[in-house]
Amino acid sequence: MTARLRLTVVTVFPDLLGTYGDRGNGMVLARRAAWRGIDVSLVEAVSTDRLPAADIYCIGGGEDGPQVRAAELLGGDDTFAGAVRQGAAVLGVCAGYQLLGRSFPDAGGAPIRGLGLLDVETVKGAGSRAVGELLAEASPTAPMLPGGVRLPPLTGFENHAGTTMLGRGAAPLARVVRGRGNGGAGRSEGAWSGRVVGTYLHGPVLARNPHLADLLLGWALGSEEPLATVDDVEVEAWRAERLAASASRRPAWSSLVR
């Protein structure tokens, strides 16, 4: 039995950080909660509105300028700070992940102060932009699903130019099997601490990785038990296809020809 039966999920500033379909994360959380009979409200809060108090905040990816603007707005938002202090879960993706950290680069590469909710620091990567399918296995340090179950492999699409370094206060979410992820020597992808999760995975990440969605829902509901199962037949078929596509070493020929 879950401890709470009401949830508010907020998609943060889709007008600034909504370029890569990441609003899907909020949609997935809301549907999966509703399927389980939870009274859930999903708010897409544009940057000119007041950010409502929420149980889960989803922050998406976007361009450099809007990323800086979003960090400014969130940094000065008492409602957001208060909700996080009281244990709201936060998911940051790509630009949204970077701004959760201590600092991230602006368009010119100069460091901008982040929210400091994750002990990570992002700099402009040396090489080319990382664009493509990303496959990663949950690290031993990754959060456990209820019942001590390990997160299954994470799959998604990355599209970024940053290298993110983890400090002691953050643990990697996963180990990269294919793709770049955080970049650097550790082959890690994403970071988490407390109830804050950051990742480079688009897809959207919670659509491709429903267990991660349920992890966030479990946190927000204060549930120690596994959540009731929902119909994931099509999701699992999609995952199997994507995992197989990432596992084959050569790029799909079909993706190269027009």
* Residues near another protein (CB under 8 A): 14-16, 18-24, 27-28, 31, 46-48, 63, 65-66, 69, 131-133, 157, 159, 202-204, 207, 231, 234-235, 237-238, 241, 254-258
Q: Does residue 58 have an active-site annotation?
A: no
If the CB atoms of residues 86 and 229 are measured against another protein, the closer one turns out to be: 229
Distance of CA 64 to the CA centre of its chain: 18
If the CB atoms of residues 21 and 146 are measured against another protein, the closer one turns out to be: 21
Quote the least distance from Cβ 76 to another protein, whole Å: 16
140-160 b/e (C-beta count within 10 Å ≥ 16 → b) = eebbebeeeeebbbbbbbbbb
Closest Cα to residue 169, out of 203, 195, 146, 192?
Answer: 192
Tokens of 147: 């019942």
Quote the least distance from Cβ 252 to another protein, whole Å: 9
Quote the least distance from Cβ 11 to another protein, whole Å: 11
Q: Does residue 202 have an active-site annotation?
A: yes
If the CB atoms of residues 84 and 94 are measured against another protein, the closer one turns out to be: 94
Asked if the peptide bond before residue 152 counts as cis, ω within 30 degrees of 0, the response is no
Pairing of strands 111-113, 120-124: unpaired
Choose the catalytic residue: 58, 94, 160, 211. 94
Which residues are the active-site residues? 94, 202
